[in-house]
Amino acid sequence: MNTAPATAPSAHVYPSARYSWYVLAVICFGYVFAFIDRTILGLLAPAIQKDLGITDTQMGLLQGLGFALFYTIFGLPLGWISDRYNRKWILSGGMFFWTVMTALCGMATGFKSLFFARAGVGVGEATLNPCASSLISDYFPPEKRPRAFGFYTMSTAVANILSYVIGGTVLGALAAYTFVSVPLLGDLKPWQVVFIIIALPGLVPVALLAFTVKEPVRLGQAASKKGQATTAETWAFIMANKKSLGLFLLACALIILEIYGAAYWHATIFIRVYGWTPQDTAFYFGVSSGLIGIVSAYTSGSVTNYFRKKGMSEGVWMTAMLGAIGCTIFGGFGPTMPTWQLALPILLMKSLFVNYSAAAAMTAINEITPNEHRGLVTSLYVILTGLVAQGIGPLAVGLGSDKIFGDPMKIGWALSLVVFVTGILAVICLVWGRAAYREALARVTWEAKAK
């Protein structure tokens, strides 16, 4: 395993800027397909529910725990492995596996088979954040990481656009057909064809990552034996930062919970409550929110650096707080509006803040955590965003619709309830942990401080 001195690295030990941005582009390319594979179910939900007779609660399980349970179960061991072995090949294998399992979603004939395929997507995507986070930290020096992680997070906004555009276009083109005859696969429903179409291009970033990206030297290590952190050292680091990093990541996970809950149910709200077609939802809401989400991701790093220049070492904390407040206010009121003319602009305002928390979380992990712990700490964050955000978010909205409001037309109110509860809890966590986070930053000695 490659190692590096424990002293603060100088800029020249990082790969060239041009190559580093190329690697980031390849990783983001893969992330785009991961997010499409993960979220396309939201647009397809009405058609799937109609064809397979699935309830809102069952759809919440498919969107949430069906993916998240296995995403988190495999995330922890894969994070441990990524701290010790070749991250490029681990991620390449994960990309290939989740691509195949997405295609299998298109072969599902009932709740059980679709649940199994979604679980497989979760297993493959469990390689993404631990490997990507660790790789990016070794390609970019600390002062450039907020922007790099902003671009990484931007992948979700790009994916959101493509998911709606591809899904909406295919569903619109095949709207007149009950079945579509696909060579070698037989007769498929239009929603099944969408899964096949979005899965196959995902093999391109697999090839690019495997054959054009180099495994970088590991920098910023702090263990007594470089590259071989003991369990005791890792546990000691986690316990020393349980309040600083723990509360910060929990807050971000709570905000991402409401974002996932919204991502999977917004299409249903526009189609079921406001009477839109899938195509209208895709282009008028999906594309617009995705474009604004790109702005959100791009500006997240600039916001962090702005507050740092103002003398706030915990600038990333301010970014997370802005994201929490913006997502909660606009995301909470938007889905309760009586008309789409009111709901649409409010929900688009939320998109301005939608990527702040995710980018802040990845930046925070890498500015506080030494290299040899990053994969595992990122996996713990994946558990939070998996079980808490991905697992509970969509399911909570579905349960709220079925059990609390008891009316499918109140799905927007169910989403609003989830958003306000989680948003308030997130703000409390951030306020509680701010001082501890600042103190944790002051303890960092293993690499140059971000400026």
Read off the pLDDT of residues 14-36 as tens digits, 9 standing for 90 and up: 888 899 999 999 999 999 888 88
- Could you tell me if residue 8 is inside a domain? no
Residue 392 domain flag = yes
Average pLDDT for the chain: 83
Q: What are the backbone dihedrals phi and psi of residue 126, each rounded to the nearest 5 degrees, phi first?
A: -65, -15
Report the pLDDT value the prediction gives residue 1, as an integer from 0 to 100: 38
Q: What is the pLDDT of residues 206-228, one digit of tens each?
A: 999 999 999 988 876 554 455 56
Which CATH number goes with the domain that contains 266? 1.20.1250.20
The 8-class DSSP code of residue 432 comes to H
Query: What is the rounded (10 degree) CA torsion for 319, 325, 327, 331?
Result: -170
Q: List Cβ neighbours of 179 (8 Å cut-off, separation of 6 or more).
A: 187, 188, 189
Domain extent at residue 368? 13-217+228-442
List, for residues 390-440, the tens digit of each pLDDT value.
777 778 888 888 889 888 899 999 999 999 999 999 999 999 989 988 888
* Residue 447 in domain: no
| Residue where the block lists tokens 């907020």 | 146
In a domain, 450, yes or no: no
Total structural domains within the chain: 1
The number of helix segments (H) and strand segments (E) in the chain equals: 20, 2
Question: Which stretch, 122-131, 215-224, 317-326, has highest mean pLDDT?
Answer: 317-326
For residue 148, pLDDT over 80 is answered with yes
CB-based burial label for 109 (10 Å; 0-12, 13-18, 19+): exposed
**Which amino acid makes up residue 116?**
F
Domain annotation covers residue 2: no
Which amino acid does the sequence have at 210?
A
**432 in any annotated domain:** yes
Q: Which tops the pLDDT comparison, 362 or 413?
A: 413
pLDDT for the residue numbered 335:
94
What's the CA gap between 442 and 41, in Å, rounded? 43
Q: Is residue 76 part of a domain?
A: yes
| 6 occurs within a structural domain | no
